[in-house]
Amino acid sequence: MNNSSTEHNETLDVIAVGAHPDDVEVACGGTLASLVRQGYRVGIVDLTDGEPTPNCPSPAVRIEESQQAANALGVAKRIQLDLPNRKLFDAPEPRIALAKVFRLYRPKLVIGFGDKTPMASPDHWQAMQITDGAIFYSRLCKWDDPFDGLPPHTIDRHLYFRMALEPDSIPYLSHHITVDITETLDAKIKSVACYQTQFAHRPGIIDRVRAAAIVTGSAAGVQYAESFAAAKPFAVQDLMKTVIDPV
């Protein structure tokens, strides 16, 4: 497990999980940047290094791009689990590896893939299942050996993201949340642009990411937004605080 910091005793409020470096940026980079600005500690976990790809000379280059992207968003930690790209598959071992991260950093919220991405990498669907399993494994007691003695941790909330270039909602999930990223769209775009090896040969990608944010935002009456689906319904106590912008 490669970590952008040598410190392992700090907690994170939010962890976003992607199959490859650039998944999280495209899906929810604006929301992560917004959370950072609001004072939350945010982390990203890439299950694989995303390599090989046609235009990237080495995994080290992709990792450097991913760190630049993390810096653009302001996240506190970026963790790479070294699982196999193109051969990522849901199994106990990947679930345990990710659950160790959850037990170590003890997030309140985990955000990850929520659906298949047809004609794109099947790693995305496997990442969803690994994340679901790791959230469950994280809270299990009386099973200490696989987790290096890290204590169980129950994650309070789990949200699914959808890729910015995919449909705006996840059809089989009924509880969607829209996050206004008008103030942080530029940070999202900057983070995506860090991946020169992935997107320089696709000059329209930035316009498509921006357009997706416009479509999502227009439905909610804001300029730019990202949407998420709740893994299961959850209740709130203060309806006014929830539905009326407090700032």
pLDDT tens, position by position, 217-247: 999 999 999 999 999 998 989 988 888 865 4
**Single-letter amino acid, residue 242:** T
pLDDT tens, position by position, 100-116: 999 999 999 999 999 98
3-state secondary structure the chain: CEECCCCCCCCCCEEEEECCCCHHHHHHHHHHHHHHHCCCCEEEEEEECCCCCCCCCCHHHHHHHHHHHHHHHCCCEEEEEEECCCCCCCCHHHHHHHHHHHHHHCCCEEEEECCCCCCCCCHHHHHHHHHHHHHHHHCCCCCCHHHCCCCCCCCCEEEEECCCCCCCCCCCCCCEEEEECCCCHHHHHHHHHCCHHHHCCCCCHHHHHHHHHHHHHHHCCCCCEEEEEECCCCCCCCHHHHHCCCC
pLDDT interval class at 6 (50, 70, 90): very low
pLDDT interval class at 4 (50, 70, 90): very low
**Above pLDDT 70, what percent of the chain?**
95
pLDDT interval class at 172 (50, 70, 90): confident
Sheet holding 77-83, edge to edge: 2-3, 77-83, 42-48, 14-18, 109-113, 157-161, 225-230, 176-180
Boundaries of every domain in the chain: 2-233
Q: What is the pLDDT of residue 1?
A: 63
pLDDT interval class at 216 (50, 70, 90): very high
Higher model confidence: residue 156 or residue 4?
Answer: 156
Q: Cα(19)–Cα(14) distance, rounded to whole angstroms?
A: 17
Q: What is the CATH number of domain 2-233?
A: 3.40.50.10320
Higher model confidence: residue 241 or residue 195?
Answer: 195
Q: Is the pLDDT of residue 35 over 50?
A: yes
CB of 17 closer than 8 Å to CB of 98: yes
What is the mean predicted confidence (pLDDT) over 73-94? Answer: 98
What is the mean predicted confidence (pLDDT) over 16-22? Answer: 98
Q: What is the pLDDT of residue 2?
A: 56
Q: What is the pLDDT of residue 199?
A: 95
